[in-house]
Amino acid sequence: MAALQSLAFSSLISHCSRHPRSFRGLSIRAIHSSASSSFYGQTLQLPRSSLPKHSPIRNVSRLRIVMVKPTIQFIQGTDEKTIPDVRLTKSRDGTNGVAIFTFTEPSVFDSSSVVGDITGFYMIDEEGVLQSVDVNAKFVNGKPAGIEAKYIMRSPREWDRFMRFMERYANANGLSFVKK
């Protein structure tokens, strides 16, 4: 069960132009193929299913399933390898909260000169992307030493979504919660 919790799933349904909105029975009889992800997910190889010749969905092209590992990025497409220290605060009434991520010697400094500039703070999982532009770099003696990123949650719904991401990220990276 723990292994499944660390894996992220998303699906992309592509279909042929003749039947752009015909999805009836797709989950049962669709033709499966290998899939890949722009978020460096793992490829699944699924067996092709055989469709009866009289099947109304014979022309449906493919159903793709992609496993996405929860990740943090500062430059889109480049995963941050350093595991952050995360501090959470939540208002007493539970309507808003702040997550402060502190990265000591993040790997983004190694690749930013080659890949590009830091464009924001992106938390990516199978539900989508949470992002913030509140990112500050710390320098010691003119050299980059760390990054602090803030993610502000302005509703209970945003808090719950963030916590779902953090649970997946923690499971994938062997992190645990310590209440202070």
CB 107 within 8 A of CB 81: yes
Contacts 24+ apart (CB under 8 A), 40-49: 40/69, 40/71, 40/79, 41/8, 41/66, 41/67, 41/68, 41/69, 42/7, 42/67, 42/69
User: Tell me, what's the pLDDT at 59?
Assistant: 53
How far from 150 is each of 87, 104, 161, 169, CA to CA, in Å? 10, 15, 16, 17
In 8-49, which residue ranges form alpha helices assigned H by DSSP? 26-29
CB 40 within 8 A of CB 8: no
Domain over 71-173 is classified CATH 3.40.190.170: no
Q: 151 by DSSP, 3-state: which?
A: strand
User: Tell me, what's the pLDDT at 23?
Assistant: 35
pTM, to two decimals: 0.62
Q: Mean pLDDT, consecutive 10-residue segments, the chain of 180 residues? A: 33 35 34 39 50 53 68 93 94 93 91 76 96 94 92 96 95 84
Q: 34 by DSSP, 3-state: which?
A: coil
- For the record, the structure tokens of 20 come out as 């752009």
Per-residue pLDDT of 3-17, as tens digits, reads 333 333 333 333 333
Per-residue pLDDT of 78-95, as tens digits, reads 999 999 999 999 999 988
Strand order in the sheet with 71-75: 78-79, 71-75, 121-125, 128-132
How far from 81 is each of 55, 74, 111, CA to CA, in Å? 47, 11, 11
Domain spans, the chain: 1-69, 71-173
